[in-house]
Amino acid sequence: MGALDTTFIQEAEHRPNLKMVEAEGVPSIDLSDSPARTREELASEIGDACKKWGFFQVINHGVPLGLRKRIEELAKEFFDQPLEEKTKVKRDEVHPMGFHDSEHTKNVRDWKEVFDFFLQDPTLIPALSHPEDKSLRKLTNQWPQNPPQFRETCEEYAKEVEKLAFKLLELISLSLGLPADKFNGYFKEQTSFLRFNHYPPCPQPELALGVGRHKDGGALTVLSQDSVGGLQIQRRSDGEWISIRPVPDAYVINLGNAMQVWTNDLYWSAEHRVVVNSEKERFSVPFFFFPGHHVSVKPLDEITNEENPPKYKEFNWGVFFAMRNRSDYKKQEVENIQIEHFKVSE
Ligand code: OGA
Ligand code: NI
C-alpha cells in the first residue's frame, strides 16, 4: 500500500498501544457433543461469555479444516495479484461487493484491502434514493477469473460457516431461555456477507490501524484469523483494550449491534480494532451474519418488562445496513449511523 499518507492517521487518542495486555479470560469454548455436558450447559457457557465480553473463541466447531486451509490459501493468492487484476472486480456504488482498498472506519482510512461477497446472490436491500423511497435494490456479487476455483471454494466455505453461525445463534437463543429457533426467521433473505481482509506490513504502525475501532452490525461474526495477531477488543468491564490471541484452528466469535439490541444490552457487542505491524502481513476472514432487510430490530418482548424497559427504539435492519454501507466509499462529513442513535433517552 506504499507510504502512509495523512488519510490513514488516527487521532492521538485512538492510536494503538502496541504493547498489549493479553486477553485473560476471553474463553475458548468446545462445541463438540460431549456426554459430560448438556446442550443447556453449553448454551449457558456461551451466554456468560456474551454478557461479560461479547467475544469468545470456539474449537471443535465442525467447519472442515481442509476447506478453511484452502480458503486461506486462495485469499493470499487473490491479494498477491497485481492491483490492476484485483481492480477488475472493484467495488463501486452499483456493486458494493468485490475488491476495495480504501475503506474508512469512523472517517479514517484503514490499512487494509478487502474482498467481499454476499451469501445470497442477489441480496435485496432498500434503495434509499430519497428519504421516502420504499423500493428495493438487488445487489449481486462480482467474481474474479483468478485464482481458479475461487468462486466455487468461496461458496462452499460460506455454506459451512453459515451452518456454524446458525448453531451459535441457536445456542445463544437457548442461553436466553428462549426456544432454539427464536431468531432463525430473521435470517430468511439474509444480508450476510463474507469478507477477506489483507493487512499489508505498515511503515508506521503506531499511527494507523488495520481497521479502526468499530462494532460489527449484525447478529454475530464468525472470524478466522491467521497466527500473526493484531485483533484487539475493548473490555466491557473497564474499557481497556486487550488482544485476542490467535488459537490454532479456532474461530473468534463476536456479537454485533442487532444482538445487543435484541437482548436489551444483556449481551454485549464489543468495540474492536486491528493493530498492524511493520514486518508481517496478516489475513483474516470474517463472516458477518446479518438479518434480512425486512427485519425490524428491537429489544425482545420476552426480555423486556416494567423493571427492564426497552433501551432502544425499533429500527429497520435494511435501512440501517444500507445507510452504514454508504459511508464506505468516501470520507463523510457526518458521523456514520450507530445503534447509539436508537437509544431511548433516560
Ligand atoms: C472486521 C474486523 C477483525 C480482524 O473486519 O470487521 O473486525 O481480525 N476484523 O481482521
Ligand atoms: Ni469487526
Task: Going residue by residue through the chain, which has 346 residues, state the pLDDT in tens, using 9 for 90 and above.
Answer: 778 889 999 998 898 876 666 656 799 999 998 888 999 999 999 999 999 999 999 999 999 999 999 999 999 999 999 999 999 999 988 899 999 998 888 889 999 999 999 999 999 999 988 777 889 999 999 999 999 999 999 999 999 999 999 999 999 999 999 999 999 999 999 999 999 999 999 999 999 999 999 999 999 999 999 999 999 999 999 999 999 999 999 999 999 999 999 999 999 999 999 999 999 999 999 999 999 999 999 999 999 999 999 999 999 999 999 988 765 444 554 556 788 888 887 6
Query: Which ligand lies nearest to the CA atom of residue 214 in the structure?
Result: 2
Is residue 218 lining ligand 1, measured as CB closer than 6 Å? no
Q: Which pLDDT score, from 0 to 100, does residue 18 have?
A: 66
Is residue 232 lining ligand 1, measured as CB closer than 6 Å? no
Pocket test for ligand 1, best of 231, 252, 289, 325 (most atoms within 8 A of CB): 231
CA torsion through residues 211, 154, 320, 259, sign: negative
Of all protein residues, whose CA lies closest to atom 10 belonging to ligand 1? 284
> For residue 234, what are the β-bridge partners?
241
Is residue 100 lining ligand 1, measured as CB closer than 6 Å? no
Residue 288 CA, closest ligand 1 atom number:
6
Query: Which ligand lies nearest to the CA atom of residue 286 in the structure?
Result: 1
Of all protein residues, whose CA lies closest to atom 6 belonging to ligand 1? 216
21-22/241-243 β-pairing: parallel
Is residue 224 lining ligand 1, measured as CB closer than 6 Å? no
Rg (C-alpha) for the chain, rounded Å, is: 19
Residue 197 CA, closest ligand 1 atom number:
10
Pocket test for ligand 1, best of 114, 211, 233, 257 (most atoms within 8 A of CB): 211
Residue 230 CA, closest ligand 1 atom number:
8
Residue 65 backbone phi and psi in degrees, to 5: -65, -35
Strand ranges inside the chain, DSSP E: 21-22, 28-30, 55-59, 98-100, 104-105, 108-109, 113-118, 123-126, 136-139, 193-199, 211-214, 220-225, 231-234, 241-243, 251-255, 272-274, 282-289, 296-297, 315-316
Peptide bond connecting 122 to the previous residue in cis, omega within 30 degrees of 0: yes
Q: 168 and 58 in contact (C-beta within 8 Å)?
A: yes
Is residue 194 lining ligand 1, measured as CB closer than 6 Å? no
Give the three cell numbers for residue 299: 429489544
Is residue 233 lining ligand 1, measured as CB closer than 6 Å? no
Count CB atoms within 10 A of the CB of residue 8: 21
pTM: 0.94
Cα separation, 33 vs 97, in Å, equals 36
Q: Which pLDDT score, from 0 to 100, does residue 172 have?
A: 98
The H or E element spanning position 162 is: helix 150-175
Q: Which pLDDT score, from 0 to 100, does residue 39 have?
A: 95
Cα separation, 79 vs 76, in Å, equals 5
pLDDT per position as a tens digit, 34-90:
888 999 999 999 999 999 999 999 999 999 999 999 999 999 999 999 999 999 999
Cα separation, 31 vs 147, in Å, equals 33
Q: Which pLDDT score, from 0 to 100, does residue 329 have?
A: 44
Give the three cell numbers for residue 69: 486451509
Residue-averaged pLDDT of the chain: 93
